[in-house]
Amino acid sequence: MLLVAENIHKTYTTADGPFEVLRGVDLRLDKGETLALTGESGSGKSTLLHLIGGLDTPDQGTISLDGKDIATLDDNGRAALRRGTVGVVFQQFNLIPSLKVADNIAFQARLADAHDPDWTGHLVTEMGLNDHLNKYPEQLSGGQQQRVAIARTLAPRPRLVLADEPTGNLDEDTAAIVMDLMLELVAASGAGLLMVTHSQALAARLSRRLHLKAGQII
Amino acid sequence: MNVSVTEGSDRSRASREAPARGGDRALPGVAGRYIAALLFVLAPVQAMAQGFAGLGTEVEGFARPAPDPVFDFPTDHGPHNDYRIEWWYLTANLEGPDGTPYGLQWTLFRNAMAPSESDDWRSPQLWMGHAAVTTPDAHYVAERLGRGGIGQAGVIADPFEAWIDDWTLRGDWETLQMTASGSDFAYDMALTAQGPLVLHGQQGYSVKSAEGQASYYYSQPFFQIDGVLQLPEGDIPVTGNAWLDREWSSQPLADNQTGWDWFSLSFDDGNKLMGFRLQQTDGSDFTSATWIAPDGQTTPYSNGAFSATPLATNADDVPIRWQVTLPQHGVDVTVAAINENAWMATSIPYWEGPVTVTGSHAGIGYLEMTGYD
Amino acid sequence: MTVVTLQALLSHWWRNPLQLFTLLAGLALATALWSGVQAVNAEARASYDAAAATLGEGQYDRLIRADGQPMAQSTYIALRRAGWLVSPVVQGRYQGVRIIGVDVLTAPGGLGPARSEGGTSIGAFLAGAGQFFANAETAARLPGLNVVLAPDTAPNTAISDIGLVQQLLGKEDLIDSLIVLPRQPKTQAELAMVAPELTRQQAQAGTDIGRLTDSFHLNLTAFGLLSFAVGIFIVHGAIGLAFEQRRPVVRTLRALGLPLGRLIVLMAAELVLFALVAGGIGVALGYVIAALLLPDVAATLRGLYGADVAGTLQLRPVWWLSGLGIALGGTALAASGALYQLARMPLLAAAQPRAMAMAAGRRAWLQGAGAAILLMLAAILMFTADGLVGGFALLASLLIGAALALPLILDRCLAFASRLAKSVRAQWFWADTRQQLPGLSLALMALLLAMAANVGVSTMVSSFRLTFVDFLDQRLSSELYIRTEDAAQSAALIEFATPRVDAILPIQSADVTVAGQPTEVFGARDHATYRDNWVFLQSADAAWDTTFAGETVLINEQLSRRSGLGVGDVIALQGQDFAIAGVYGDYGNPIGQAVIGEAIFAQLYPDVTAQSFGIRLEPAAAPDFVADLDAETGIRPGQSINQAGIKAMSLSIFERTFTVTTALNILTLAVAGFAILMSLLTLASMRVPQLAPAWAMGMTRSQLGQLELVRAVMLACLTALVALPLGLVLAWALLAVVNVAAFGWKLPMYLFPLDYARLGLFALLAAALAASWPARRLARTPPADLLKVFSNER
């Protein structure tokens, strides 16, 4: 099993007192499997994604990737996890504005010391970015930027791809194209995919779907 | 114990760090009093030493001592400007009213940069005065430097006067008046000769090495001396014996001679002994001695007769107990410093102080040692 | 990982060269100001040190003839033979160069050419082979002489053996002064017995320049510190900007798996690189500043104090290093906070304005407490400080305390204004300005310091100038001043002038020591010139009558303050007691001065004859008089100085004194303007989310831009209002505390409202200029960016 999350709890302190975002969530994902996580705003789906991505730590519960518990990792361990094992596609792309497209795509793979020019070239071609390699992110449309971000995430061949509303900032047509590409390439890379979305249509395209409500899977 | 250094101190500290020590290596041909005489001119401008390194071997233009001299007094009490190095060197063993032994030194060195004299600042004659008083637990030192030609320092043969600043040694050699002062001591002495002048070596031609380096050397070892020492603890009337050395040359030592130990001993039986040992780089010594009978009759001894062997050293590795022998006169004595720390912290540092003599002969004397800094 | 991260970090600057420029420029400017001022200081100090080492000035007592004439060489020998350890010095000018002859055998240890290049011989030095020692600059001016280069020799000075110099200067058998060695023999004849014509001049007297130049250096050092403070503000602003702008990128990098520790190390390394580059540029700029200032500084010091300072700059490793050190240290100081924040910044949370506001509140409280303590300290020091150190402690606590208090004062002002505001828009403006205050406060503090220093120093300078001009009018009242070459000329002058002029006033003086202070005693002829023109700070009845009668003495303010003597106290001259009848202002004179009647002066100092004369006559008749004098007596026109000429020369010297100050004033203000620009640029990036609601509620972008400009000018205005009283207090401290400690006289303080208004205008202009670019950028913010504020959560 690629990913096993068990009994995840997470509480945030807010101005109005503690707020329990996740209340005992269990989740499993096999490699090559694609899983959609749906739910309303505030249901905790992004928080769950962040915990799995090692961007934050759960208060309680275990998250194991390839049988290894990541909830207990320290900062550096989680950084290493984010570098190579897990890739995150953000809603707002989070490209590095001062790097050219080519460098942005290669960035994470280089960071992880896992740069494979052939695979990266394949990603660039598939994403239709060959004409844009020497441009800067700000010169691209939103859809193009997200394609760059997806290519960057897949370049180090992560075991697990996490996507947080990857098409949330894109118009409907673009979103569909980007989603097609992402699913295709994730499949080609053999990674597992966990995608947060509030779109039922998108969720339906994945192999499995979980719905989160008030911090629990239903 | 209190070693006192007066106005020469700034200079001497610096000079001991650089040129004097370096000078030993740079000027292998000079030792002992010669080092002092040659190098003192470096001290004020130590950093210029490099331009001066050649002096040790440059004797062109200066006269050289020749055997069998005939001295002409009082003229020869005066300076010999055509020789490079010359001194008027007086040491005295004194005793206070309570029997405390004291030592006293008054020295005027002349060093010439050229064999000439001029009556203005262009004079190439440089003068250096050293004065010291040694008590059993203190040693007071003063140094003066000056140039010839302008009247600050010099020697006149007749009427005899040797002076630098306010220090003077004047008189007719039957009687002499002598003064010197430092910032913490002064003295005013009267000397009366009790015997004749004494010529060392062959009629005053004193050989200093196997290669034949030599100097002219005579002494008046028979001065009776009395006067007052002004010391920090008060004025002390003293009496005793003084020994005045006169020596001049141009390049008197050999290349391989690095230091010198000089003894002037007065035995209780009235005999006196002058002996010196020149240390050589190969570890051997060159020695010379003069036996002086109470009536002034002298017997010179060339290399090997006289021997001096260090027995003990002070904290600074300067020998302060010696075994001294001259078998021809049955001399086998131990010479020991009255004050171990009679270090002359002057431009050219050396050790000079009063000693006691025990063993085959008893007596007192003076010891000078160079090459230990 | 390191390479790719550095590439990502550095790429930011290639894409944003303007930001790179502001960062580097901020760092470089701060370094430049600091190292420039330090360079000037270091150069001047090195010159004095060389001079002091060469001449032994200030360290040793000297014997000189009371009348200032050289002594016979036989006097020197007589002293040596009497047990005096003295060393002869002869000096003079040759081809404009100060030539000094010494005797190396008797000179004290550290004297003489300490080091020389290449081979040189003691023999050559001693035996008159003709070697002179001088630095390269001086050597070039002595082509005829055999000069050995000795870089540490004092500027414009050549040293050689005394015999050689006597010959060169035509002073055979003459000696100008004797250095008295510190340790003298136990037995020594009385000086009066050996050489009664000589007087002993205490160390630190006469030629000592340290005390005087110290004040000037302290002035410069204060500016150096001020510019350093302003510089730190700038660097802080620049680094704050750089970090603020890259906050999202930093989040992205971390999200992509870059460990925090590595990130911080790399960003620190990046800053070190920039600090080195900018520091290098800054030191080079500082060199230029110093090179531009130094001729003025040198001229000022020479004019004011007679201190020879090399007019050219040497590259001294000390200030290269200190400049780079300041750049690195300043960067570290400014960056440590930013890096700490970076380390604490949560990976996920969006910017938390509320938390930041709370932290800012805590900081404000701490600042307020610090300000209160420092200002209280300043208040205490105002009444207790009586030395230079105390004076500068007062300045420092006053300035820093006021700077720390500024944000609180502004906050209160804005809160008050917002309560008065009627319209919603005005309320929003005031509230928004208050919110911006923490981010701008550093820049505003820099502006406050720059303006206060400007007000303070310009008030001091102008007060000084006014007082001094008045003083010159009082004191330079004779129409002509004539210098004679010898007693014969003096007699001829008196004979020629007596029937032709209203009065002849001989100017004769002797150097003495009064109450331990080096003092010139003047013998003055009874004349209305003195009675009418001299202004007493305090005086007894009929002060001039008793003084001209030979019963009393008048002293200058310097002597009075330094010795603590006032009217009624008694001083002794040549063993004779005089009561002090008056104290007069004597601005610009470094040493003490005393005036007694002509007759008693002649009695006490029979050797001194007047060789300077003030001539009172119709001003119009002066040119004819000078021409006739030449024809009749051979006293050449060159020996006469017209009063107007002296005044012009004196004034020009004092004008130059403050050229340096003025230049630094302008630089400091420019730098403060730059600080404002930085801060506004920093804020601009954070401003968009705050402005977006206002925009959404119907304000146009150009209106928003205008408001930004208005806001900056308004804040500068408020700062200027605080700076003015601060500057005046600063001026008071400079005039009444620092000046008294440094120069020995207190200056009346004048106010110059027009100058302050002009300065305020400049400050506002600087603020407006600095704000206009960010405002323009804001006015041109694409609507999409403003919209994004609403669509982006992070």
> In terms of CA atoms, which chain C residue is nearest residue A82?
C257
Q: A82 vs C4: CB contact, 8 Å cut-off?
A: no
Handedness of CA B71, B72, B77, B78 (dihedral sign): negative
Q: Is the pLDDT of residue C112 over 70?
A: no
Residues of C in contact with B163 (CB under 8 A): 81
| pLDDT score, position C224 | 66
Lowest mean pLDDT among A187-196, B99-108, C315-324: C315-324
Distance of CA A119 to the CA centre of its chain: 19
Bigger pLDDT: C672 vs C328: C328
| pLDDT score, position B80 | 94
CA distance C593 to C600: 16
Q: Is the pLDDT of residue C308 over 80?
A: no
Q: Looking at the complex, report in whole angstroms how far the Cα of residue B115 sits from the nearest Cα belonging to chain C.
A: 12
- Please report which helix (H) or strand (E) contains residue B178, including its range: strand B175-181
Q: C104 vs B45: CB contact, 8 Å cut-off?
A: yes
B339 Cβ contact list (under 8 Å, min separation 6): B103, B134, B135, B136, B137, B138, B139, B353, B354
Report, as an integer, the average pLDDT of A54-61.
85
Beta bridge partners of C594: C521, C555
Bigger pLDDT: C109 vs C553: C553
Mean pLDDT of chain B: 82
How would residue C123 be classed by pLDDT, with cut points 50, 70 and 90?
very low
Bigger pLDDT: B224 vs C300: B224
Q: A81 vs C260: CB contact, 8 Å cut-off?
A: no
What are the tokens at C416? 């008050």
pTM equals: 0.54
pLDDT above 70: percentage of residues in chain A: 100
Residues of C in contact with B146 (CB under 8 A): 80, 105-106
Coil/strand/helix, residue A23: strand
| pLDDT score, position C786 | 67
* Cβ of residue B11 closer than 8 Å to a chain C Cβ: yes
Quick check: B193 and B172 in contact, CB under 8 A? no
Q: Looking at the complex, report in whole angstroms how far the Cα of residue C207 sits from the nearest Cα belonging to chain B.
A: 24
pLDDT (tens digit per residue) in B36-91: 333 333 332 232 222 222 233 445 688 888 999 999 989 999 999 999 889 999 99
Q: Name the class of domain A3-217.
A: alpha beta
Lowest mean pLDDT among C181-190, C478-487, C751-760: C478-487
| pLDDT score, position C119 | 34
Q: In C643-757, which ranges are E strands?
A: none
- The string of DSSP letters for A131-142 reads GGTTS-GGGS-H
pLDDT above 70: percentage of residues in chain C: 76
| pLDDT score, position C174 | 92
Residues of C in contact with A169 (CB under 8 A): 791
Q: C122 vs B48: CB contact, 8 Å cut-off?
A: yes
Q: Select the residue from C1, C3, C4 to test the A interface by mutation, using most A Cβ atoms within 10 A.
A: C4
pLDDT (tens digit per residue) in C619-649: 888 888 888 888 888 777 767 777 776 666 5
Q: Select the residue from A94, A139, A145, A154 to test the C interface by mutation, using most C Cβ atoms within 10 A.
A: A94
| pLDDT score, position C128 | 46
What are the tokens at B152? 């600050």
Alpha-carbon distances of C676 from B329, C233, C447, C614, rounded to whole Å? 100, 10, 8, 57
CA distance B308 to B207: 18
Q: B181 vs C187: CB contact, 8 Å cut-off?
A: yes
Q: C187 vs B166: CB contact, 8 Å cut-off?
A: yes
| pLDDT score, position B269 | 94
Residue C291 DSSP class: H
pLDDT (tens digit per residue) in A110-122: 888 888 899 999 9
- C181-206 burial, b for 16+ CB within 10 Å, e for fewer? bebbbbbbeebeebbeebbebebbbb
Q: Is the pLDDT of residue C109 over 90?
A: no
- Please report which helix (H) or strand (E) contains residue C588, including its range: none
| pLDDT score, position B39 | 32
| pLDDT score, position B34 | 34
pLDDT (tens digit per residue) in C26-67: 788 878 877 777 777 666 666 656 555 555 555 678 888 866
| pLDDT score, position B3 | 39
| pLDDT score, position C458 | 74
How would residue C311 be classed by pLDDT, with cut points 50, 70 and 90?
low
Picking from B10, B184, B185, the nearest residue to C109 by CB comes out as: B10
Q: A108 vs C258: CB contact, 8 Å cut-off?
A: no
| pLDDT score, position C8 | 86
Pairing verdict, β B101-112 and B85-95: antiparallel
* Cβ of residue C186 closer than 8 Å to a chain B Cβ: yes
| pLDDT score, position C661 | 65
Burial of C309 (0-12, 13-18, 19+ CB in 10 A): buried
- B357-367 burial, b for 16+ CB within 10 Å, e for fewer? beeebebbbbb
| pLDDT score, position B244 | 96
Quick check: C557 and C584 in contact, CB under 8 A? yes
The total of other beta-carbon atoms located within 10 Å of residue C708's CB is 26
Interface residues of A toward C, Cβ cutoff 8 Å, are 50, 55-56, 75-76, 79-84, 88, 90, 92, 94-99, 103, 107-108, 110-113, 136, 152, 169
What is the residue extent of each domain of chain A?
3-217
The total of other beta-carbon atoms located within 10 Å of residue B63's CB is 15
* Cβ of residue C151 closer than 8 Å to a chain B Cβ: no
Query: Residue A204's closest CA among A36, A4, A23?
Result: A36
| pLDDT score, position B305 | 93
Pairing verdict, β C612-616 and C592-597: unpaired
* Highest mean pLDDT of the ranges C402-416, C503-517, C687-701: C402-416
Query: Residue C583's closest CA among C550, C614, C552, C549?
Result: C552
Q: Is B68 left (phi over 0), alpha (psi -120 to 50) or beta?
A: left
CA distance C450 to C229: 10
Mean pLDDT of chain C: 77
Q: A107 vs C8: CB contact, 8 Å cut-off?
A: yes
ipTM: 0.89
Q: B11 vs C109: CB contact, 8 Å cut-off?
A: yes
Q: Is the pLDDT of residue C118 over 60?
A: no
pLDDT (tens digit per residue) in A20-44: 888 888 989 988 899 999 888 778 8
Query: Residue A66's closest CA among A207, A209, A192, A195?
Result: A192
How would residue C499 be classed by pLDDT, with cut points 50, 70 and 90?
confident
What are the tokens at C183? 């340790």
Q: Is the pLDDT of residue C476 over 80?
A: no
Regions in chain B scoring below 50 on pLDDT: 1-58
Residues of A in contact with C13 (CB under 8 A): 98
